Structures are given as structure tokens and as C-alpha cells.
Amino acid sequence: MKTHKNFYEKIISLENLILAYKKAKKGKTKKDYVIKFEENLAYNLKILYDELKNRTYFPKPLETFILRDPKTRRISKADFRDRIVHHALCNVIGPLFEKIFIYDSCANRKTKGTLFALKRFEKFQGKVTNNLSKQAYCLKADIKHYFREVDRLILIKILKKKIKCNKTINLIEIILNNSQENKGMPLGNLTSQFFANVYLNELDYFVKHKLKAKYYVRYVDDFVILHSSKNQLKKWKKEVQYFLKEDLKLELHPDKSKIISLSKGIDFLGFRIFYYHKLLRKRNIRSMKKKVELFNKGEFSQEKFKEVLQGWCAYAKWANTFNLRKRVVNKIIFP
């Protein structure tokens, strides 16, 4: 495996920090913290550069809040200057790992995402059922408390396979350890999203190269394996459970990891996917209706709500939801 040294100078270069700053502020130009940082932009970037160069950089405490949309999640938000460092790091090491990720790892990657994962699922569904003419099954799996349970020592060991630059590894450790917890990664950081793929790339290789599963799609900690034999999937499930426990200190969610007949419909990425149609999960619909109610009561700004509505409609249209979208829009009371 090709390894890489002397990354640190590239990461902390002013050129890379400027690019990272532009990425960090994207879509947030009106935020107070961005405006404040930009008041003395050159000075603030130079201070950040000096701290990184002298290795006196240390991130500010994370701002933690609870988000209920649609399920309850604990989000940890990094300070803006620390987000610049996250982007600077990912700008340099991201392309290195992108080369080794499997094709069907779909989250937080350019040209991939929810729609890509759904299309891959449907393509595999057609292949494993011989164009929907035969019975086949799906292991639908979810890793229990994934971001909370990631073992940082194992993660560092995985990263060191490719990165032989001690200064870069030290910076990564500083970012990872900026938490009150002894393990896991804060949900909400760009680096956490990236490291989530690096960590589970080990699972991807196990499934594709050891188990030799042909029809496998992963989106963060949600993954599916399709096969014509239910018994084969039962065997693979046990092997995956053992691998996760022994190698990554993780476990499958007992209630959300099941082997299901494809003809009964599979819950994946917010949709229930049947042979000839897709439905939105009821939880997703309830969440959007709740937002409409809040907007009608004046608890959402018009600008913010339009952004939410457009995003939801773009997402929902990939299911059979024409009448549903019409009903939701008709309930909106615009001023």
C-alpha cells in the first residue's frame, strides 16, 4: 500500500487555509461568526497559520445541542476557525483515501449521495431477482450508536496505514480528542463524516473481498447486502457481526438489522422500496407536516422555510409522492 509523508506543510499552507476558509463559509456568509471573522480576515488566517506552524493550535470547545429531525441526535458544532482547519485537513488527505474507497460507499462523497445509493440498490435488486422475476432477500443492517462507539485508537491505526506524517497524525488526534467523551466522534464535524468512511472502509473491504458479496451498498452506518439465498445472508450476518466486534469494536443494532424478502419492501435511507414503487417513511412525512405547522404559526422565517421545503420536495420526488407533495404544499399559509 502506498503511504504518504510530509502532508503537514500542505495542510497548513496559507493557500490551503484560504481555500478551506472559502469552503467553511459556503452557505453561511450571513452568519455573525463569519462576518466577525472576515472583519480581520488576513490577520485571523495568519494567526491560525502561525498556531498550526508552531504547533500551538488547539480547538475551542464544541458547542453541543440536541436536534430532533426526525430522530433525536446530539450535534456538536465546532468554532468557525476550527472548521477551517477541518476543511484544510480534508482538502489534503481526502483525495488520498478517496482512491481506496469502494464504488458503493455512498455518503459524503462527490457525485454520490442518497440518490446514488437508491439507484445502486434498485440496480442490484433487479440483478439478484433476475428483473424482479425471482425471490431474493436483503440483509438490512444498521450499526448501533456508530459515531459514539468509534474507537479512536483503531481509527488512528487505520489512518497510519496511509499517512506516515507524524505532525498530521498529531493534528488529527487533537481534533478527535476535542470532546468530553473518551471514545467516538462528534456528530456534526466535517472530519467526523470523513473519518466515518475511513473507519467503515475496513468493513467494505471485508464484505467485498473476504465475503465476496456482489450486491452491497453502504451509506454511513446503514448498509444492505442482497442475495438470492436467505441462508447465505444469515451466515454473512454472523460473520459481519464477528468482524465488527473483533476488528472495529462495533455491533449491529439488534432491532434494525434484519434479513427481509425484497418483495416485502426494504426501509433504506428514508424510503420503503418495493419492486415497482417507493414510499416515503411515515416519520419523514410527519416531520415535514410539523414544519409546515410551525411555519404557519410564524415560528419559521420565510427564507428558511422555503429552503427546507425545496430540499424536502427534491428528496420526496424520488418516491411515488405526487399527491402527497401537493397536499403538503396546499396546507402552507404564505403571508
Judged against a pLDDT cut of 60, whether residue 1 lies above it is answered with no
264: DSSP letter: G
What is the pLDDT, as a whole number, of residue 74?
80
Q: Convert the pLDDT of each residue in 136-163 to its tens digit.
A: 999 999 999 999 999 999 999 999 999 9
Q: How many CA atoms lie within 13 A of 193 on its CB side?
A: 18
Residue 239's pLDDT band (boundaries 50, 70, 90)?
Answer: very high
Q: Which three cell numbers stand for residue 265?
A: 419492501
Q: Which three cell numbers stand for residue 262?
A: 425484497
Q: Measured between alpha carbons, how far apart are the two ends of the chain, in Å?
A: 60
- CA separation for the pair 324, 81 (Å, rounded): 42
Amino acid at 153: L
CA distances from 40 to 28, 123, 203, 210 (A): 17, 51, 45, 53
- CA separation for the pair 102, 82 (Å, rounded): 29
Q: What is the 3-state secondary structure (H, E, C) of 214-263?
A: CEEEEECCEEEEEECCHHHHHHHHHHHHHHHHHHHCCCECCCCCEEEEHH
Mean pLDDT over all residues of the chain? 92
DSSP assignment string, 133-158? TS--EEEEEEBTTHHHH--HHHHHHH
Q: Convert the pLDDT of each residue in 256-304 to its tens digit.
A: 999 999 999 999 998 999 998 899 988 889 889 989 998 888 888 888 8
Q: In residues, how long is the chain?
A: 335
- CA separation for the pair 132, 118 (Å, rounded): 16
The two beta strands, 137-142 and 222-227, are antiparallel
Residue 200, SS3 per DSSP: helix
Per the DSSP assignment, residues forming a β-bridge with 105 are: 218
Q: Tell me which of 180 and 176 has the higher pLDDT.
A: 176
Cβ distance 86 to 191 under 8 Å?
Answer: yes
Residue 65: enclosing H or E segment and its boundaries? strand 63-68
Q: Convert the pLDDT of each residue in 28-77 to its tens digit.
A: 888 999 999 999 999 999 999 999 999 999 999 988 887 776 567 788 88
List the one residue out of 83, 71, 74, 73 whose CA is nearest residue 33. Answer: 83
pTM above 0.85, yes or no: yes
- CA separation for the pair 266, 284 (Å, rounded): 16
Q: Which three cell numbers stand for residue 244?
A: 465488527
What is the pLDDT, as a whole number, of residue 4?
58
**Helix 302-316 / helix 282-296 crossing angle, nearest 10 deg:** 160
Helix and strand counts by DSSP (H, E) for the chain: 14, 9
5-23 average pLDDT score: 93
Cβ distance 197 to 172 under 8 Å?
Answer: no
